[in-house]
Chain A
């Protein structure tokens, strides 16, 4: 696995620059302050040509992508939750609960333009080992559009072993909140830069699903699924990630164990911890949220009380907790909220847990928001 290296000089410089706010930050489990970075927000009322220009501006506002991706292999975890045939009413998935293909295409194009050597599009489609391209085609996406957006674009279904010879192990710094570590498809290790490309949505179990919760889907169901074998990973995924929600069974024994076998079986406790673990173990380098068109009420058409909405927002940041905090604020929620307060009425805050793991701060006072101010871009999901 590639880790970001930081020289002593840079480290001290960073400390000097942020010393004021550092002292005010909450203490993390690892005894160091949670990082705070810049998050860019742009208005983009519709999908179309303006997506690419808006995203280009966002990346420029972040300081440009070149330093991050030039000559590197970039892995992008897409948010294509549920089945490819699922729709909210008659509306295609990309307009409601999937990241839109134009946002995917624009991201690929801009990464390539910034010098990325190879771009891998990743997702773990529900209950299947079929090629990711076929899953996309089922939703009437055209994978060739992504291939033509850059010179080296690859696809991989990460819900099973895929093209790898073995699963890659990611241990959670500090020992983990739910599991000590996670075994994932090789693509999450065989990359220099990891991008979480998410949708601006609420989530029935986790309150919100943004760039962090998107990473819930990096776990292979051959190990963590309802129908995974007891000892070793299955050949193909069976079922969904129910065991993460309800603790109904343990992952295949080959994977790192639970931290606490007697822990809660409640989804609102477990899912946020699994997500926080994952983003701590497999850091996100670039977090992007598609909020141009989306839905309220949950993460997919199966949620109750859902509506199709058009917030007209695109968000990007280099820290997933910071980015999700801004995303939450733009949705009309307080990112400092915790269990019992919207949107976390029945769950713990993934943002707080990730902050405690030292992944990033959720405190807006410490996050530099550039581009469209939150007050101008706010779209209240609970009043929509």
Chain B
């Protein structure tokens, strides 16, 4: 058995280890203890009937006295699960007992183990490594790897007044999203499957459920998978057949199914007119991550490029390069950068590396950049360097110019979008996500492509809806129906 990218993972907290952890943090009561015991029973797997969830992440060994009891308690669940075609990944804490825990996992029939750090041992069971998000050892990443420390997606709490979103400095509500990390990871660990590990907010309960469907969509739309994680109150309510809890679970599965039935989208490549180049390591990691996050929040479509590999191959459609690091490009890279500029491209950087003797000009008083005209293009050098990621993102968008936007949303409210391209059939996909728990209406999507219609796919609807396009030179507009969580538009044809 190998790690299978088609696994759809879900956290399945149950048994003595889960209880010991909650008891230790004094977050559990008698009802929760019952819930954790019940979820260890094979009957609990009925919850997964008809859903794409086919891989459960269970706590296997924590270096705690309860480890043995945990492994014993899970046996019936594992056997029943295997009969239903469900895979199990056992979470094993770092420590001296790793080898024994993995051996036990193999003997009990687990499909893989999830380790918090690389082990010196070689195991005859697939290993899935899990890293804190800011310390991913990209080169050591396993075929499937997981990250912790992710954000629960949605409107940032500080920007809420009751149920109303307050605008951020950009005029759009401030949202939390893991999109940037997914795009970064896609570049730094290409071809690997990412499982994002994050849990619902502690305040979540059945009356005010967390936006699970959004957690799925914010991960999947950007090529990652969320390890589905339900809050304890919801899991207790599900056991009792609470209709509200059942509805929440059903909506979550609807979104999981939506992406599972469009696996071809996983092969689409992110579209971007702006390349963001950095090594994203050490001192460059924070600025790089924040700039990606803020560019995405502004709706700018970008490509992430790891510095050492950047510019080694042609990148058609690229209008600008944002060179984030203070480190100068290598000689080869500089030659490619200058060639890009001479052909009309824009390079945005903190230092000037172009030919000597070129006198800079100011472009606009609102932009604190010196502009060097070289060939048909320009190098824009920040006068004060890249200090504030927000300002870097704003300036980059203006320097590149909205004339080059690939997509725009009107009445975006709490939505954002991601554009990708089918490299084979040249189909374009724009996924739209709503980060509020309230539906949004009258959102218009503009794409810079001339087309008569597009296919609108929505969760819970098996077939697409043909959406007529309205010409809006130089592209096309689509009036979107009310968006609860997410939808996707397949647009035929490339840029005109």
Q: Mark A123-138, 1 if CB is under 8 A from B, else 0.
A: 0001101110010011
Cβ of A200 within 8 Å of any chain B Cβ, yes or no, is no
Cβ of B411 within 8 Å of any chain A Cβ, yes or no, is yes
| Contact A126-B171, Cβ < 8 Å, known A85-B409, A87-B442, A131-B398 | yes
Q: How large is the interface on A (under 10, 10 to 19, 20 to 34, 35 or more residues)?
A: 20 to 34
Q: Which residue in chain A gives the minimum CB-CB distance to B475? A: A140
Cβ of B365 within 8 Å of any chain A Cβ, yes or no, is yes
A140 touches B472 (CB 8 A): yes
B411 partner, pick from A86, A138, A162, beta carbons under 8 A: A86
Candidate in A90, A129, A137, A161 with the most chain B CB atoms within 10 angstroms: A90
Cβ of A205 within 8 Å of any chain B Cβ, yes or no, is no
A85 partner, pick from B394, B398, B412, beta carbons under 8 A: B412
Candidate in A87, A162, A163, A236 with the most chain B CB atoms within 10 angstroms: A87
Q: Measured between alpha carbons, how far is A32 from B477 in the docked complex, in Å?
A: 54
Q: Which residue in chain B gives the minimum CB-CB distance to A163? A: B365
A137 partner, pick from B394, B401, B479, beta carbons under 8 A: B401
Within the complex, the shortest CB–CB distance from B171 to chain A, in Å, comes to 5
A127 touches B442 (CB 8 A): no
A90 partner, pick from B366, B408, B444, beta carbons under 8 A: B444
Q: Which residue in chain A gives the minimum CB-CB distance to B172? A: A85
**Residues in A103-148 with C-beta less than 8 Å from chain B:** 126-127, 129-131, 134, 137-138, 140, 142
**Residues in B383-400 with C-beta less than 8 Å from chain A:** 394, 398
Q: Measured between alpha carbons, how far is A281 from B189 in the docked complex, in Å?
A: 62
**Residues in B430-466 with C-beta less than 8 Å from chain A:** 442, 444, 446
B402 touches A83 (CB 8 A): no
Q: Measured between alpha carbons, how far is A127 from B409 in the docked complex, in Å?
A: 19
**Residues in A148-179 with C-beta less than 8 Å from chain B:** 157, 160-163
Q: Which residue in chain A gives the minimum CB-CB distance to B413? A: A85
A134 touches B411 (CB 8 A): no
* B interface residues, how many (CB within 8 angstroms): 24
Q: Measured between alpha carbons, how far is A236 from B366 in the docked complex, in Å?
A: 8
| Contact A157-B366, Cβ < 8 Å, known A90-B444, A142-B473 | yes
**Residues in B355-388 with C-beta less than 8 Å from chain A:** 364-366
Please name all residues of chain B whose beta carbon is closer than 8 Å to the beta carbon of A92 when the two chains form the complex: 410, 472
| Contact A87-B410, Cβ < 8 Å, known A126-B171, A131-B398 | yes
**Interface residues of A: mostly helix, strand, loop or mixed?**
loop
| Contact A85-B366, Cβ < 8 Å, known A127-B171, A134-B401, A137-B403 | no
B366 partner, pick from A126, A127, A131, A142, beta carbons under 8 A: A131
Within the complex, the shortest CB–CB distance from A325 to chain B, in Å, comes to 34
Candidate in B169, B365, B398, B410 with the most chain A CB atoms within 10 angstroms: B410
Within the complex, the shortest CB–CB distance from A152 to chain B, in Å, comes to 18
B402 touches A137 (CB 8 A): yes
Please name all residues of chain B whose beta carbon is closer than 8 Å to the beta carbon of A130 when the two chains form the complex: 366, 394, 398
A160 partner, pick from B366, B394, B401, beta carbons under 8 A: B366
Please name all residues of chain B whose beta carbon is closer than 8 Å to the beta carbon of A161 when the two chains form the complex: 365
Q: Measured between alpha carbons, how far is A65 from B169 in the docked complex, in Å?
A: 42
A162 partner, pick from B169, B365, B412, beta carbons under 8 A: B365
Q: Mark A16-42, 1 if CB is under 8 A from B, else 0.
A: 000000000000000000000000000
Within the complex, the shortest CB–CB distance from B139 to chain A, in Å, comes to 40
Candidate in B365, B366, B402, B479 with the most chain A CB atoms within 10 angstroms: B366
B398 touches A134 (CB 8 A): yes
B408 touches A89 (CB 8 A): no
Q: Which residue in chain B gives the minimum CB-CB distance to A131? A: B364
A140 touches B365 (CB 8 A): no
Within the complex, the shortest CB–CB distance from B231 to chain A, in Å, comes to 34
Q: Measured between alpha carbons, how far is A86 from B409 in the docked complex, in Å?
A: 10
B408 touches A138 (CB 8 A): yes
A129 touches B366 (CB 8 A): yes
| Contact A85-B408, Cβ < 8 Å, known A90-B444, A138-B402, A142-B473 | yes
Q: Which residue in chain B gives the minimum CB-CB distance to A145? A: B473
Q: Measured between alpha carbons, how far is A161 from B171 in the docked complex, in Å?
A: 21
Within the complex, the shortest CB–CB distance from B496 to chain A, in Å, comes to 14
Please name all residues of chain B whose beta carbon is closer than 8 Å to the beta carbon of A140 when the two chains form the complex: 408, 446, 472-473, 475
Please name all residues of chain A whose beta carbon is closer than 8 Å to the beta carbon of B171 when the two chains form the complex: 83, 126-127
Within the complex, the shortest CB–CB distance from B476 to chain A, in Å, comes to 11
Q: Measured between alpha carbons, how far is A337 from B364 in the docked complex, in Å?
A: 45
Within the complex, the shortest CB–CB distance from A128 to chain B, in Å, comes to 8
Please name all residues of chain A whose beta carbon is closer than 8 Å to the beta carbon of B402 when the two chains form the complex: 134, 137-138
Please name all residues of chain B whose beta carbon is closer than 8 Å to the beta carbon of A126 when the two chains form the complex: 171
Q: Measured between alpha carbons, how far is A140 from B474 in the docked complex, in Å?
A: 9
Please name all residues of chain B whose beta carbon is closer than 8 Å to the beta carbon of A83 when the two chains form the complex: 171
Q: Measured between alpha carbons, how far is A24 from B171 in the docked complex, in Å?
A: 50
**Residues in A66-112 with C-beta less than 8 Å from chain B:** 83, 85-87, 89-90, 92
Q: Which residue in chain A gives the minimum CB-CB distance to B448? A: A140
Please name all residues of chain A whose beta carbon is closer than 8 Å to the beta carbon of B398 when the two chains form the complex: 130-131, 134
Q: Measured between alpha carbons, how far is A142 from B477 in the docked complex, in Å?
A: 16
B411 touches A87 (CB 8 A): yes
Within the complex, the shortest CB–CB distance from B349 to chain A, in Å, comes to 21
Within the complex, the shortest CB–CB distance from A199 to chain B, in Å, comes to 18
Candidate in A85, A86, A129 with the most chain B CB atoms within 10 angstroms: A85
| Contact A90-B442, Cβ < 8 Å, known A129-B366, A161-B365 | yes
Q: Measured between alpha carbons, how far is A87 from B408 in the docked complex, in Å?
A: 13
Q: Which residue in chain A gives the minimum CB-CB distance to B395? A: A130
Please name all residues of chain B whose beta carbon is closer than 8 Å to the beta carbon of A236 when the two chains form the complex: 366
Question: Could you write out 12 A-B pairs with CB less than 8 Å apart?
Answer: A85-B408, A85-B411, A87-B442, A89-B442, A129-B366, A131-B364, A134-B398, A134-B401, A134-B402, A138-B408, A140-B475, A157-B366
A residues sitting closer than 8 Å to B (CB atoms) are 83, 85-87, 89-90, 92, 126-127, 129-131, 134, 137-138, 140, 142, 157, 160-163, 236, 301
Closest 9 CB pairs of A and B: A129-B366, A137-B402, A90-B479, A87-B410, A89-B442, A131-B364, A90-B444, A87-B411, A85-B410
B residues sitting closer than 8 Å to A (CB atoms) are 169, 171, 364-366, 394, 398, 401-403, 405, 408-412, 442, 444, 446, 472-473, 475, 477, 479
- A85-B410, A86-B410, A90-B444 given; name 15 further pairs at CB < 8 Å: A85-B408, A86-B411, A87-B444, A129-B365, A130-B366, A130-B394, A130-B398, A137-B405, A138-B408, A142-B473, A157-B366, A161-B365, A162-B365, A236-B366, A301-B411
